[in-house]
Amino acid sequence: MSVKMLPSGKGEIQIVPTDGQLLVEVSKYSKRPIERTLLRILRYMNDVTARRIGVHGSGGIGKTSVLKALIPKNWTIRKVQDEVLRQLSLSSKDVKTDFEIAGKLLQVLKCQRFLLLLDDVWEPIDLNAVGIPDPALENGCKMILSTRFLDVCHIMAADREVQMEGLLPEEAWELFQEQVSSINVDSPDIQPYAQDIVQKCGGLPLLIIVTGRALSKVNDALSWMHASREFSRCSAHGMYGFESLVSQLKFSYDRLEGPELKSCFLYCALFPEDWQVSIFELVEYWIEEGLISGNCTDIYMRGCDIVGALVGASLLQSSECGRSIKMHDLIRDLAVGILSLEWEGYQFLFRSYSRMAQHSDMGNSSSYRLLESFRSNRQSILHGRQFLLRAGVGLTEPPVKDE
């Protein structure tokens, strides 16, 4: 979860640009629902009675883009406090406990008007425990939170709720056409299959982009027919919501060319969520792990080519400077789903704050079927390796021997 606090002036909303480039912001078509949602939020912001605004919707639909237009998801009270302290240019050296920090923040913030942005909230946050005054008419403060779960909006007492809309059918088709680029999907032999795929994407920009990129080299009707049937199978495992979306994203993973590319992609899930890693550093990791090989002259070029292929497939995101990459949280969930398997000779123990691990339905049969569908993917990264991953939790000692 990311946190942003902005000073709130008299009836003004401060729009602040942020670093980084979102996957769903690559096209004018994917921006349209973001703009529509943003206008609704701005109208609520001008309503003096609206103090808490909740934005909810499916993963990959563009909620983070909305909050970034107004200006790491593993959170604890201390992490939220530290981020607020950092943005207020305050130090926590003289206080030790969460309670003491909360008192310090409360003293500072109770005399200020602020806009609090909470992105990707997966469970309710006790603002009082953090030390943030409750937004109210009396103090003139406001809060906007984004979440996949409507219940979070309710529990956090949002007095205005905005459901994030997906792309309209014509927008979804235009975005898909843009991703397949040189392929003429308007051809009578291809169009029915292409439109069937787009319809099953449900207006989600992330899914449309990733799926379109996966099909950008398919130029004959028979292959499109098979692709449509394959994507339909990914969409019809009797699953709904989060699990179904991850299963649909797996369609793009399956179309990566060769185990080397797939292994390098899966390796990126070993970094914490929202973690930006330099391309040079990532390629060095791949070489050290033996995922790519070759002579000293060619091996780095091969690694950079793999990065380029994964970015081109929209399975990795490139920073604005082009020197680092990161994974969208849903794409990481896909990789986690492939790695979080256990069968004879292979064990992958994920102790990460992954969305898939945290999801409340993870124990039900639909989630089991999702993982079952990944069992055929025994890539080279799996052979002879065992993983115990606790990404982003700040371990200072190795896990116990039993683990």
CATH architecture observed for domain 252-389: Orthogonal Bundle (1.10)
Question: Which pLDDT belongs to residue 71?
Answer: 65
Whether this model's pTM surpasses 0.85: no
Question: Which pLDDT belongs to residue 14?
Answer: 30
Question: Which pLDDT belongs to residue 356?
Answer: 37
**How many residues comprise the chain?**
403
Question: Which pLDDT belongs to residue 382?
Answer: 53
Q: What is the CATH number of domain 2-163?
A: 3.40.50
Question: Which pLDDT belongs to residue 278?
Answer: 93
Rounded-to-integer distance, Cα 333 and Cα 192, Å: 30
Query: What is the mean pLDDT for each group of 10 consecutive residues in the chain (403 residues)?
Result: 55 31 44 78 80 79 74 67 82 78 85 84 84 83 86 88 88 93 89 94 92 92 94 67 78 91 91 88 91 81 93 89 88 84 41 38 39 44 57 70 70
Residue 117 burial by Cβ neighbours in a 10 Å radius (0-12, 13-18, 19+): buried
Question: Which pLDDT belongs to residue 339?
Answer: 79
Question: Which pLDDT belongs to residue 51?
Answer: 80
Question: Which pLDDT belongs to residue 282?
Answer: 94
Question: Which pLDDT belongs to residue 207?
Answer: 93
Query: Domain map of the chain by residue range?
Result: 2-163, 169-236, 252-389
